[in-house]
Amino acid sequence: MAASPENQAVDMALMQGVARGDAEAIQRLYDRFSSLVYRMAYQVLPSRDDAEDAVQEVFVRLWRTAGRYDPSRAALVTWVMLITRRFLVDRLRRARSALKPAVLDEKITVPAPEHEVIASQDKRERFKGLMSKIDRLPALQKTVVTRAYLNGQTLRQIGEELNTPLGTIKSALSRALVRLRETETEGMAT
């Protein structure tokens, strides 16, 4: 669903303020999207500290690219989530490439501390909950979210593989994120 012309104008004015370095505009952008960015980062990254660091990095990227925001191409929430997704994919790729260890002695095993085991179990439970929500999405939305966020594919790649126009893929992702956010909000209210 496209944003109304009034919302597009408000979003554009906000991002123009962010691009100028207007502290009030930056604060409004942060207030509006920080919890959404944090939840997304926390689902992907190994700790709360990493998720908090990711929020800071994403908002720096939003500030640096604010002048390029075009409300006719994407709703502001979609744009923020795409910047977040790109950051998280980049971070996971860097972490994966950094984890190519030298050959280790297989006889040495170090048990994980209890708090790491509990955190790992908590993360698995959150991931299962997220996957359950994704499974309830319509087929195209589910496919786009899974391929984009879990497989790290670009929207263009997904469109080519599904032989579907890029605009349709973007719309499906936007609608899926809105639905997921709504189910997250409903879950917090209960």
Residue 28 — pLDDT band, cuts 50, 70, 90? very high
Within this chain, domains 1-99 and 112-190 share the same CATH topology = no
pLDDT of residue 108: 43
- Give the model confidence (pLDDT) of 3-22 as tens digits: 677 878 888 999 999 999 88
Question: Which helix H or strand E contains 19, and what residues bound it?
Answer: helix 5-20
Q: Is the pLDDT of residue 87 over 50?
A: yes
Whole-angstrom CA distances from 118 to 113, 121, 124 are 9, 5, 10
What pTM was computed for the model? 0.52
CB 165, CB 118: distance < 8 Å: no
Task: Pick one of 1.20.1630.10, 1.10.510.10, 1.10.3720.10, 1.10.10.10 as the CATH number of 112-190.
Answer: 1.10.10.10
Mean pLDDT of 34-55: 88
Radius of gyration (Cα) for the chain, nearest Å?
19
* Domain ranges, ordered by start, for the chain: 1-99, 112-190
Q: What is the mean pLDDT of residues 102-119?
A: 51
Position 181 pLDDT exceeds 50: yes
- Whether 106 has a pLDDT exceeding 50, the answer reads no
Distance set, CA 126 to CA 45, 55, 117, 130, 136 (Å): 12, 19, 14, 6, 16
**CATH architecture of structural domain 1-99:** Orthogonal Bundle (1.10)
Q: Which residue has the higher pLDDT, 7 or 63?
A: 63
Read off the pLDDT band of 1 (50, 70, 90).
very low
* Phi, psi values for residue 2, rounded to 5°: -75, 150
- Predicted local confidence at residue 155, as pLDDT: 85
